[in-house]
Chains A and B, each alone.
Chain A
Amino acid sequence: MHRLLFSKTADAIWTSHLDVMRIFQRAFLRAHIPIAHTQGYSPHPFVSVILPLSVGTASQCEILECTLEDKEISFQETQERLNQVLPEGIQVKEVYESSRKAKELTYLQARLELCYDSGIPSGASEMLNSLYSRETLEITKKSKKGETLLDIRPMIQSVQVQDHSPTQIWLDTVVCAQNPSCNPLFLVTAIQTYLSQLAPDFVRCSREEVFDKEGRVFR
């Protein structure tokens, strides 16, 4: 099995998970890079992106799985050819072979940019630091089945709070990526729940890196 490490930035962050897979299926054809097809009545090129990304979140570390069929085309060339035919904001950073199972991916590191249009409220960093040091951090999670209470504290590995500019606080966090998974934006939900006076006017979220159980970079 082959993997492509790619980034999703700029306006491409508004593309959905399913559409990203469609974009790659077409890009492989445009780049004349054959990949294996699914079997069955209606065969189609098989691609799979591990860890679906929410619409609106950027990423430096998306991983797409597929099987490259033409051994004559090097990984380097595959990367270059794909990058010439991908839409703005989607760029392949690395092409490689891997036998690691997707389920070994355990943690993800994300950056949350909290924007305060009229300046960071005083004492915000300290309050945020103590918020994330609580023993439990229950938020209301909305799903199709209704609302459930979820304690996200056990799923947060670390949070670093820094005043990035007079109007922005950045949170760099490592959270559980799957089984169970914690959407980094839950950290913002926690602010809205416990410190509503610190609720930011706008948040940008970016996935920065993925790790295995031992904390090594996952590829």
Chain B
Amino acid sequence: MTEQLQRILPTVQKPARYVGGEYGQVIKSKQEVDVRVAFCFPDTYEIGMSNIGMRILYGVMNDMPGVWCERVFTPWGDMEAQMRRHALPLYALESKDPVKEFDLIAFTVGYEMSYTNILNMLNLAGVPLRAKDRKGLKNLVFAGGACMYNPEPLADFLDFVSLGEGEEITKEILQLYRKAKLEDWEKEEFLRAVAQIPGVYVPSFYEPVYQEDGTLQAIVPNPSAPKTVLKRIVKDLDSAYYPTDTLVPSMEIVHDRTNVEVFRGCIRGCRFCQAGFCYRPVRAKSAQVLYHQAVASLESSGNDEITLSSLSTSDYKELDVFADKMLDYCIPRKIKLSLPSLRADNFSRELMLKLRKSGRSSLTFAPEAGTQRLRDAINKNVTEEEILTTCRIAFSGGWNAVKLYFMLGLPTETDEDVLGIAELVWKIIKEWKAYGSEKKRGLSINLSTAFFVPKPFTPFQWEAQITPEEYMRRVHLLQSAIKTKMVDYRYHGPELSRLEAVLARGDRRLGAVLEEAVKNGARLDSWEEYFRNDIWMEAFASCGLDPNFYACREFGKEEVFPWQTISIGLRREFFWHEREKAYQSLTTSDCRTQCAGCGANSLCPGGVCDA
């Protein structure tokens, strides 16, 4: 196999993606290992190695004696073609053993448009796609990650799903698997037992029943399966596993830096944001633990850049103290400290100026909507005044580049809201003209609009997505309202976002569409050079399904959702109430100011959130 690989590698781009051997990779002796996991990331090496969840779970699994977890990524098209030509099966990077030889095949899934890669990787591995065609305990396929709160489109292909945070549940699953393997259980017996682990969802134990109009009538669990499966969380982040000795890629990856997680969850409650609700309740790491982890990770990796990640870093209570302490460490060592996800409020402005000392120079805002009315409707509690003041301070401090992110197609959006984006951009330009301290270099504004995608477990989970044609009309409306060359406007393609909406709220019938699309060459859909909408449309047609049924249809208030069996700990009534408030342009205050009663506190010890 290695010889074959050596001959293929000179013919592909970036061969370093396919060989492993990096500093910090885990190699174990096969004699001392009884459970082998092929941990698959359904995108390229550079994307997967940038994923903090993958790094955490790689460490969690390899920390277990007798377990060897290895990495597998999606090969790029040129590599896939060569592998197929030479009948080289998909292999894991560490041992280079074929994935087919592994006990468990795990996927971490963070983006709907990577679903075809999952099927394609199983196919490249020579593993049967459908769970029912895989007999015995070998090659059990399971998945976790942000997309798996509605795993239904993948239900036919997955043996089971691990819901929520994986630090603890993954160990429980592997321990059970070891017992099953030792005692030579039937696959069915293992599935029944694994379904008893809190947070494990076994799709084959549930039978969807459809009505004539195509909506679900019910999802019927078999007698041994739980009626709902609640996601898992790690209760105390300070004591939770965190890898400070991590693998250092030998090639440049997307996020080529140390990444420490400040807290999980979000107090804000933006109504379109799935992560903001799914990662609740809010749990923070103490500044002390964080500092220790940051320094240890920097020293063990040799990285010269560190980023503090969370959904809204300026909401970290100890940020002031922690950032100062980090800057004291970073500046003399010439390490860059970056803080994405800051909000445009007073506190962030001070911090922004401090950060400049460690060499940061980009300024990014995500107002998401162009008018205050719509920002209130989506509960993005940032005001125009806050954005403009922050820009003013930044411009007078020498910044001259701003990135702005908006969405088009949000519920209740009108043409006035679309044009409001151009107006806000114009006001930002005026601030620069009045206060910019380095005018000679000019101002550059990168303006980007995404196409709103309704997601499960958000107040907008019932919403219809506007049609791709209507989205493009709004794009052109905005385009025509921007008249200056200082603005570089880019927008997401409508087809991809429509498919994302289909898969995000899709049901089990979409499995056939996925299989058909992959058969006809769909893969690497998140990459422009590979995405082919026509393949997808043909697949829908040949399976007799209408993508608009999933994307452009408003779901009924009481409709049975495909993800009905799954719970993230938040109440459906809370989401509905938030949706109603959206239509009245009423905001909900952040969790710290006032508890909105979402229900996530039930997941915390003593029922108290750490908002």
Contact = CB atoms under 8 A, between A and B. Distances in A.
Contacts of A119: none
Contact of B251 (A16, A42, A44): A16
Nearest to B247: A87
A49 interface: no
B407 to A, nearest CB: 33
A24 to B, nearest CB: 10
Contact of B16 (A16, A28, A43, A85): A16
A29 B300 CA distance: 9
A22 interface: yes
Given A14-B16, A15-B250, A87-B22, 10 more contacts: A15-B16, A16-B251, A22-B252, A26-B304, A29-B299, A42-B359, A56-B10, A56-B15, A85-B302, A87-B23
A23 B250 contact: yes
B15 A37 contact: no
Interface of A: 10-12, 14-16, 18-19, 22-23, 25-30, 37, 41-45, 55-56, 85-89, 202, 204
Interface in B515-529: none
Given A15-B250, A43-B334, A56-B10, A87 B301 contact: no
Nearest to B336: A42
B21 interface: yes
A55 B6 CA distance: 12
Given A56-B10, A85-B23, A19 B302 contact: no
A56 B300 CA distance: 28
Interface string B1-36: 000001101100001101111110000000000000
Given A14-B15, A56-B15, A87 B21 contact: yes
B334 A11 contact: no
Contact of A11 (B19, B248, B299): B19
B303 interface: yes
B250 A56 contact: no
Contacts of B21: 10-12, 87-89
B302 A14 contact: no
A55 B302 CA distance: 24
Contact of A25 (B15, B16, B304): B304
B16 A44 contact: no
5 contacts: A14-B18, A29-B304, A30-B302, A88-B21, A88-B22
Interface in B298-331: 299-304
A30 B16 contact: no
A14 B93 CA distance: 14
Contact of B23 (A14, A25, A86): A86
Closest 6 pairs between A and B when the two form their complex, measured CB to CB: A26-B302, A29-B302, A11-B19, A88-B21, A30-B302, A14-B15
A26 B20 contact: no
Contacts of A43: 334
A87 B25 CA distance: 9
Contacts of A204: 6
A29 B248 CA distance: 13
B250 A30 contact: no
Contacts of B334: 37, 43-44
Contacts of A89: 21
A18 B14 CA distance: 12
Interface string B352-393: 000000010000000000000000000000000000000000
Contacts of A29: 299, 302-304
Contacts, number: 70
A19 B14 CA distance: 11
A22 B252 CA distance: 8
Nearest to A10: B21
Given A55-B15, A87-B23, A88-B21, A30 B251 contact: no
B607 to A, nearest CB: 45
B9 A19 contact: no
A117 B10 CA distance: 18
Given A87-B21, A87-B23, A12 B300 contact: no
Output the residue of A28, A30, A37, A42 with the most chain B CB within 10 A: A30
Nearest to A44: B304
B301 A15 contact: no
A26 B301 contact: yes
B252 A19 contact: yes
B2 to A, nearest CB: 9
Nearest to A43: B334
Given A11-B21, A56-B10, A86-B23, A19 B16 contact: yes
Contact of A30 (B9, B15, B19, B299): B299
B9 A87 contact: no
Contacts of A86: 23
A136 to B, nearest CB: 28
Contacts of A26: 23, 248, 301-304
A88 B21 CA distance: 6
Contacts of A56: 9-10, 15
B23 A19 contact: no
Contacts of A11: 19-21
A25 B6 CA distance: 27
Nearest to A84: B23
Contacts of A16: 16, 251
Nearest to A204: B6
Contacts of B252: 18-19, 22
A84 B38 CA distance: 27
Contact of B302 (A10, A15, A28, A88): A28
A43 B358 CA distance: 11
Given A11-B19, A14-B15, A56-B10, A87 B250 contact: yes
Output the residue of B16, B20, B303 with the most chain A CB within 10 A: B16
Interface string B538-576: 000000000000000000000000000000000000000
B19 A14 contact: yes
Nearest to B93: A11
Contacts of B23: 23, 26-27, 30, 85-87
Contacts of B15: 14, 55-56
A29 B18 CA distance: 26
Interface string B571-592: 0000000000000000000000
B300 A30 contact: yes
B177 to A, nearest CB: 30
B243 to A, nearest CB: 15
A30 B16 CA distance: 22
Contacts of B18: 14
Interface string B249-264: 0111000000000000
Nearest to B334: A43
Contacts of B19: 11, 14
Contacts of B20: 11
Contacts of B7: 202
A106 B21 CA distance: 32
A183 B252 CA distance: 26
A10 B302 CA distance: 23
Given A23-B250, A30-B299, A14 B304 contact: no
A83 B303 CA distance: 18
B423 to A, nearest CB: 34
